[in-house]
Amino acid sequence: MNSFLKKLCVFGSLLAVLALAACGGGGDKGADEASPTNDDEATSFPEKDINGVIQWGEGGATDIISRTLASIAEDEVGASLVMQNKTGASGAIGAQYVYDQPADGYTLLFGAENPNLYQLLGISERDYVNDFVPVSIIGQSYAGIVVNKDSEFDTLEELVDYASKNAGKLKMGTSGEGGLPHVASAMLKSELDTDFNLIPYDGDGPLAVALLGNEIDVTVLAVSAAQEYVESGDFKMLAVLNNSSLDSIPDVPPITDIYEQFDQYLPWGPFQGIFAHKDTPDEVVQKLSDAFEAAQNDEEFIEKLTSLGVDPLNLHGEEAVEFVKANQSTSTWMLYDAGETEISPEELGIPKVGE
């Protein structure tokens, strides 16, 4: 009889276990309900500081604009923005770092246009279109061709004439392959048969220092980064890469006033934007976009951009995506048509603008 009771108890216990399993396990279910889901995390975002990674060095256009906006945006975001510069490889070091972090919105890339060219130039597998989602496109900048105040060149025609007749003698500072000066030099080479000795630096700030110290003969800087040096008389800006003059530097001629053939490339220029990992939850991206949109409506920030020769854009969502794609198309095909790369943008699935 005792043996029967023991077997009955064992059988009863087994039934109880099976019943709990069929219900999903009462104790485990409670634990699951207490664990945050992705929706819960998006709702409570942000719960800690957000890291902002600037892919260029201190003092350049991207650095100035990013840090100015970050200080305004903290109240809108509801968290501190801890900014840091991660330079190298034409900005690819910073871009890869952000890509390698968890896709949770707590690490953002404050970047410029360069990742649009990485795959074409073999710099990195990363690019904006496939690996990131734009949180905000802040503004469209313009570029200027600049020389030291003591340079023998006072006009773009003089510079072009020398660079055409003395291949490789003039040192042009660049921010690496795919950077603004590299693309601009390809444009000049294609249309005017110039030939520069390209010297790489880590962004606009180091480039400006190099030009001040006469380490280089010429460079192409975002107007926002060069303007203070032009106004102080340290630099001469020979032309802006645009098809009309800029209000911030009205005395500097647009390049199309000197060489009409550049009109086919313009308007074109660098831009600044904020990007998150492509797998960041949509709700988090939307929260960030809304916060940065509000911050960019700040009158003082708009005045700051305008004073730097930057057109405020404040683009988000599909508009931002289309802007990035159009910039990638223009820049990649410009380099390819100039003979600066053997890889065709078509091989990467990048169409020409308008196609």
Q: Report pLDDT for 307.
A: 79
Structure tokens at 50: 């957000």
For the entire predicted model, the pTM comes to 0.74
- Angle at CA 320, nearest 5°, toward 190 and 286? 155
Q: Report pLDDT for 340.
A: 82
What is the rounded CA–CA span in Å between residue 293 and residue 12?
A: 63
Q: Report pLDDT for 40.
A: 65
- For residues 279 and 99, is the Cβ–Cβ distance under 8 A? no
* Cα-Cα end-to-end distance for the chain: 88
Contacting residues for 156 by C-beta, under 8 A, at least 6 apart = 145, 238, 239, 253, 255, 258, 259
What is the rounded CA–CA span in Å between residue 212 and residue 141?
A: 22
DSSP per position, 140-196: E--EEEEEETT-S--SHHHHHHHHHHSTTTSEEEESSTTSHHHHHHHHHHHHH----
Q: CATH fold of 143-265, please?
A: D-Maltodextrin-Binding Protein; domain 2 (3.40.190)
Contacting residues for 22 by C-beta, under 8 A, at least 6 apart = none
Q: Give 345's DSSP letter.
A: G
Which CATH architecture best describes the domain 47-141+270-348? 3-Layer(aba) Sandwich (3.40)
What is the rounded CA–CA span in Å between residue 182 and residue 147?
A: 16
What is the rounded CA–CA span in Å between residue 33 and residue 29?
A: 6
Structure tokens at 57: 């060095």
What is the rounded CA–CA span in Å between residue 117 and residue 179?
A: 9
What is the rounded CA–CA span in Å between residue 173 and residue 221?
A: 9
What is the rounded CA–CA span in Å between residue 195 and residue 200?
A: 16
Is 143-265 in the same CATH topology as 47-141+270-348? yes
In b/e form, how buried is each residue of 241-256, taking b as 16+ CB within 10 angstroms?
Answer: bbbeebebbeebbbbb
State phi, psi for 86 to the nearest 5 degrees: -125, 100
In angstroms, the Cα distances linking 120 to 104, 114, 129, 189 are: 28, 11, 13, 19
Contacting residues for 189 by C-beta, under 8 A, at least 6 apart = 195, 196, 338, 339, 340
Is cis: bond before 46, omega within 30 of 0? yes
Q: Where are the domains of the chain?
A: 47-141+270-348, 143-265
Residues in the chain: 355
What is the rounded CA–CA span in Å between residue 115 and residue 99?
A: 12
What is the rounded CA–CA span in Å between residue 111 and residue 202?
A: 13
What is the rounded CA–CA span in Å between residue 304 and residue 70?
A: 13
Torsion 29-35-41-44 (CA) sign: positive
The pLDDT tens digits along the chain (355 residues) read: 444 344 434 344 433 433 434 444 433 434 343 334 456 667 899 999 999 999 988 887 789 899 999 999 999 999 999 999 999 888 999 999 999 999 999 999 999 988 999 999 999 999 999 999 999 999 988 889 999 999 999 999 999 999 999 999 999 999 877 778 888 888 898 889 999 999 998 878 889 999 999 999 999 998 878 888 999 999 999 999 999 998 888 999 999 999 999 887 787 778 999 999 999 999 999 999 999 999 999 999 999 888 777 889 999 999 999 999 988 998 898 888 878 888 999 999 999 866 6
Beta-bridge partners for 277: 132
